[in-house]
Amino acid sequence: MILATDNPAALPAPPLTAAPSSIALFLDVDGTLLEFAADPDDVVVDAALPELLDQLDHALGGALAILSGRSLQRIDELLGRPHLAAAGSHGAELRRDGTIVRAVRDSHGMSALRAYANTLLADLPGVVVEHKPDAIALHWRAAPTMAALVEDVAQRLVRAGRKGYRLQHGDCVVELRGIGADKGDALRALMHHAPFAGREPWMIGDDLTDEHAFEAAERSGGGGIVVGARRPTRARYALADPAAVHRWLAALAAHLQETTA
C-alpha cells in the first residue's frame, strides 16, 4: 500500500512492504515526530505517540531507535520511553538495551562559552538559547530577522572554543557542539548489535543532521525518508509533515501486525 496523498514533492511516499524481521526503523524527533514550536520547551507530544512507538518497537522486535539532536534526558522527558534505543545530542549520546553506552559531559571551557553566549545574545531579543550537554543551541525561529546576527554569534563562539567545537546548522537553529559522533555514526553503531544487525535500516527525518543517517542507512541496504520539502536530500522517499509521519507509522504498525499474525 502507498499513501500517495502524503507525497509533498517529487519523491514518492514510502511503500509498506516490509516483513517485521527485515527492517530497522530510526526516527528523528523535532519536525518528524513533533511539530515545531517557537521555543523548544513548548513542543506538544501527541497523546497517541508513545503507545504507537511501543507498538512499532514490539512489532520490530526492538529494532526501533530514536535519533535526535535533543539530549537523551530531554528525549525521555518528551516521549516517556526510556526503554527505547536512542541517540541524543546528534549522536554524541547513545543508549541500547536500556544502557547508556556513550555519554557526553561538558568539556573544559564550556561554562565560559555559555557565559559568553549569554553576553553576546543579550541584545538579540527573541533568540532562544538552549543549553545541552557540551552544546549550546541558538534558536531564531521566533526572531527570523536575527538569523545573520545569530550566525555571527555562533562563529564567535566556535572561534572562542579554539577548535574544540563545531557548528551544526539546523531548522532555524545553529548549535555549537563538541567534535563528536553524528547521527550516521549512531545508526552504524546500533546496526552492529541485535536486534538491529542484519536488518535493512530506514531513517525518517527532516533536517540537515538527518542526512548523515540517511547516507548510513543507504549504505547498509536501506535508506532515508525525508519529512517536508527540504531539498536536496539523499532520501529516496518523502512524507509531508509530522501528521503524515504519524499516519504512515500507524499504517506500518498495522501492516507489521497483520504480517506477523
Q: Where do contacts with ligand L263DTV3 occur on this chain (CB under 6 A)?
A: 28-31, 36-40, 43, 68-70, 130, 132, 137, 139, 141, 170-173, 175, 207, 209
Q: How far is the CB of 15 from ligand L263DTV3 (least distance, A)?
A: 24
Closest by CA position to 183, among listed 218, 214, 221: 214
Q: What letter represents residue 80's amino acid?
A: G
Cell of 36: 515545531
Q: Are 245 and 224 in contact (CB under 8 A)?
A: no
User: Of 73 and 259, which CB lies nearer to ligand L263DTV3 in the complex structure?
Assistant: 73
User: DSSP string of 149-210?
Assistant: HHHHHHHHHHHHTTTSEEEEEETTEEEEEES---HHHHHHHHHTSTTTTTSEEEEEE-STTH
At its nearest, how many Å lie between ligand L263DTV3 and the CB of residue 20? 25
Q: What is the dihedral of CA 53, 56, 61, 65, to 10 degrees?
A: -50
User: Which SS3 state, helix, strand or coil, does residue 1 take?
Assistant: coil
Q: How far apart are CA 219 and CA 213, in angstroms?
A: 10
Task: Compare residues 95 and 255 and give the one whose CB is closer to ligand L263DTV3.
Answer: 95
Catalytic residue among 28, 76, 185, 210: 28
Alpha carbons within 13 angstroms on the beta-carbon side of residue 250 total 12
**Element of type H or E holding 78:** helix 72-79
Closer by beta carbon to ligand L263DTV3, 150 or else 191: 150
30 is catalytic: no
Closest by Cα among 66, 81, 28, 17 to 239: 28
Catalytic positions are 28
